[in-house]
A and B are shown apart, each in its own frame.
Chain A
Amino acid sequence: MPQTYLSIEGIRKTFGSFTALEPIHIEIPKNEFVCLLGPSGCGKTTLLRLIAGLETPDGGRITVAGRDITSLPPSKRQAGMMFQSYALFPNLTVEQNIAYGLQEKKMSKAQIRGKVEEVLAMVDLEHSAKKYPSQMSGGQQQRVALARAVAMSPDFLLLDEPLSALDAKVRQKLRQEIRRLHEQLGMTTIMVTHDQEEALTMADTIVVMNNAKVIQVGMPEEIYERPNSKFVADFIGAVNFVGVEEVPAVAIRPEHVSIHLQPVPDSSEAIIENLEFRGSSYRITLKPSHSREIIADVNSSMIRLLGLEKNRRVYYELPSEHLIYFGDALPTPWVEVVV
């Protein structure tokens, strides 16, 4: 386990009688890319703002490299913050926006100019230095905001849903760009998102949150393969819940359900209720004779090979090595016994 760099120890926050964050504990090693993932309203932004010093916690401690920053004002925290609305100054040009914070540091004009050029080159906007934010596309504005945050050479970078306002294509590209920038600078980064795919593809570590609490912390593969609760399993990727009332909860990902034309040991019979084309694969809805529907993702070439079609009778198998177990109770009605 690498050494903790940024540590959040029991930070909590209420707004009046509303609890926005229960005591939160997170430890983040240096140079990590961490995603705070959770549904809207679960307190991600609040946590980020607490780390940035824009809100005051009701209790708890935040330390960076052993230094307690809990009571420091935002400007003294060495944090680079990128806001959900980008918060670019509309009356300043791109270079003026980036230089804004640098002018507060003891830097010469030439040094500032050098730094501005450097970060603009990093985000591929060398030629837009003299533009105003309103003259740029959403994706470009986002990159300016990122450049502005990075230019301050902060100890750590805080990004609040940096991609949520952009359309799918641009989002894809900027994901890679943010990741590349992180690799290049090695800056410890915390990014808020409610998009599980974004978190899975970008993060070193994912912190899953719900209802003001941290539910699970782990690497993307870990979170995906071994979710610790029904909530996490459901929130990240598609999942079938299978099991009975007495046994611990069990689930399986659709891509792990295997389908056969003939019965095999431990398989059950079902009718193909629906086939949904998804490009490289199909999502198949199976209706077993006496239990809930099960979804399975099957390779397109496999579909053709097996000649799967609607209303066809098939046999499915839930390989035990791919079953996910977790402790929390599952709702009835229950599917058949699989274990």
Chain B
Amino acid sequence: MRTMMLSLVKRRGSFGERAAIVALIAALCIMVLLPLITLFSKAFEGKTGEFTGLANFARYFQSPALLQSLWHTAFISVGTACISVCLAFVFAYALTRTGIKGKLIFKTIALLPLFAPTMLHGIGLTYLFGNQGLITNGFFGALPFEWHIELYGPIGIMMAEVMYTFPQAYLILAVSLAFADYNLYEAATTMGASKRRIFFTVTVPNIKYGLISAIFVCFTLAFTDFGAPQVVGGNYSVLATEIYKQVIGQQNMGMGATVGIILILPAVLAFTVDRIVSRKQNAISSRALPYRIQTSRLRDGLFLACCLVLSALIGIVILTVIGASLIKIWPYNLSLSFVHYDFTKVAGGSIQPFWTSLRMSAWTAGIGTIVTFLGAYLIEKTRSMKMLRQAGYFLSILPLALPGLVIGLSYIFFFNERSNPLHGIYGTIWILVLANIAHFYAVSFVTATSALKKLDKEIERASDAMGVPQYKTLLRVTLPLCLPAVLEMAMYLFINSMVTVSAVMFLYAADLKLASVSVVNMDDAGDVASAAAMSVLIMMTNVMVRLVYEAIAHFVKTKTGAWQTRNS
């Protein structure tokens, strides 16, 4: 009888463990679920808060202007996804399946856009293809031709979105392409199949799920991005700018919420597809032979050319923005100066937003990493309250389906409510930190979970049997083993908090302006050079953070190499 009682207690976990799980679920509800529910309910309310049923949706689909922005967004997103995935495929293929030189450099350049806010891509395009653009007037007439494109509108948006989504698609496809069973290629060769047939019967099916995932990710990112259309959109309205107009311009909260829900739809679809796809990802057998790159001059030459062109395009846009931020008065006085980095010269500008962004990102990275890791730990490594933990898992990956704008919007509705006891954080830096953690929770959660999954399942049991309290094992064993993942999470949270604009757009207080927001404002006000300077500051900061991350990660890897390699 006594032993039975004992085992019963053991199975239910300690009181502390159960309390922690309940606290985690409560936190996730406050962070994600409740704001989202508030947003949904607002979509069924009129201007004064009365219940109107589906009236908002009906109005939406009857308003030609609003409906038009939906079609525009769909067009932009489909175009972006197609172009971006095709380019990223060529690039990823070159870097994983050919023998070209300089892969590390190409990879670094391809990932650069991740470090900058999307406005930077738009600003770069403005300087290249805008009315005064370098290419538009043929390098001040130095070139024998001029090339006018209709930048402000779908073309410009799509160009900026392709640049924004390219690295994401590249990352997904590179992972897919890295796994292959070379024996399949050899079997096909032995049976006399041509290179082309092998490509379509072996390579493409092998990366099918990666391709699907990349297409959906690019589509969703372009669908919900605010920065690029804000800078190069001109009069071409898209959903993201439309929401902003409805909420900030016309204070039409109900319609804002309605557009928000429409904005979620593709993301929810992408989320669902991603869940199905990640489960289906074909397992590579342990007897598989890793891919061997055959020597082929012609193939390497062609792919090298493609990589050079793509890297050059990315490089040119970024260099243009850096150049523009350093040039006194474009295009009249081309001497170099740091005048644009003195933000006090522009209306309402100062360097303060940059410091605020740094502070917010540091808090987001610090608190976010701890909370996410603990969350993942509780869900993955404890055994009590299975149902709650499953709910917790769902809430943890749900933010994957939530665009920043939707999070920002739902946060206004939820926290701006006077009756909410947490109303106090509205207008402080903490709501920004909270919104960012929610926004980027899912990805870092997945990172933490997969690191935890790799650990021996028996670690907790063993320490249990030795009578060591679980928190001690967590600190002494589990956390050190997961250090590389923890570092990655912190870096990810920091960098994304620095560049994001959509989630914080609605939430910042006048005295707590953020760097990314001030880029939008300065660009809007025509101080494009200062906007360029601020976005360069953001990008440089992120590159620096990334370098520090690489250095620490390298240090950790060499330091812990002994017990990391034994498992693999």
A75 touches B285 (CB 8 A): no
B191 touches A104 (CB 8 A): yes
Number of A-B contacts (CB under 8 A): 63
Whether A3 is near chain B, meaning CB under 8 Å from some CB there, is no
**CB-CB under 8 A for A104 and B288, given A87-B186, A89-B201, A89-B205:** no
**Residue-wise interface mask of A (261-293) relative to B, using a CB-CB cutoff of 8 A (1 in contact, 0 not):** 000000000000000000000000000000000
Q: Give the CA-CA distance A91 to B201 in the complex, in Å.
A: 8
**Residue-wise interface mask of B (266-292) relative to A, using a CB-CB cutoff of 8 A (1 in contact, 0 not):** 000000000000000010010111000
Q: Give the CA-CA distance A105 to B193 in the complex, in Å.
A: 10
A85 touches B287 (CB 8 A): yes
Report the minimum CB–CB distance from B461 to chain A (whole Å).
Answer: 30
A104 touches B192 (CB 8 A): yes
Report the minimum CB–CB distance from B190 to chain A (whole Å).
Answer: 5
Report the minimum CB–CB distance from A165 to chain B (whole Å).
Answer: 7
Partner of B205, one of A53, A90, A165: A90
Residues of A55-81 whose CB lies within 8 A of B = 73-75, 79, 81
B201 touches A152 (CB 8 A): no
B181 touches A152 (CB 8 A): no
CB neighbours of B192 from chain A (8 A):
75, 101, 104-105
A100 touches B190 (CB 8 A): no
CB neighbours of B288 from chain A (8 A):
85
A104 touches B193 (CB 8 A): yes
CB neighbours of B287 from chain A (8 A):
84-85, 165
Whether A54 is near chain B, meaning CB under 8 Å from some CB there, is yes
Q: Which secondary structure characterizes the binding site on chain A?
A: loop
B187 touches A83 (CB 8 A): yes
Whether A92 is near chain B, meaning CB under 8 Å from some CB there, is yes
Identify the closest chain A residue to B185 (Cβ).
A87
Residues of B202-221 whose CB lies within 8 A of A = 202, 205-206, 208
Most buried by A among B191, B285, B289: B191
Q: Give the CA-CA distance A317 to B233 in the complex, in Å.
A: 99
Partner of A52, one of B190, B205, B282: B190
**CB-CB under 8 A for A74 and B190, given A91-B205, A92-B201:** yes
**CB-CB under 8 A for A87 and B181, given A92-B201, A100-B188:** yes
Identify the closest chain A residue to B286 (Cβ).
A85
**Residue-wise interface mask of B (378-400) relative to A, using a CB-CB cutoff of 8 A (1 in contact, 0 not):** 00000000000000000000000
CB neighbours of A54 from chain B (8 A):
186, 189-190
B184 touches A101 (CB 8 A): no
Residues of A71-130 whose CB lies within 8 A of B = 73-75, 79, 81, 83-85, 87, 89-92, 100-101, 104-105
Whether B183 is near chain A, meaning CB under 8 Å from some CB there, is yes
A89 touches B184 (CB 8 A): yes
A85 touches B201 (CB 8 A): no
Identify the closest chain B residue to A80 (Cβ).
B190
What are 10 A-B pairs at a CB distance below 8 A? Answer: A75-B189, A75-B193, A81-B187, A83-B187, A84-B287, A85-B183, A89-B184, A104-B191, A134-B282, A165-B287
Binding site for A on B (CB under 8 A): 181, 183-184, 186-193, 201-202, 205-206, 208, 282, 285, 287-289
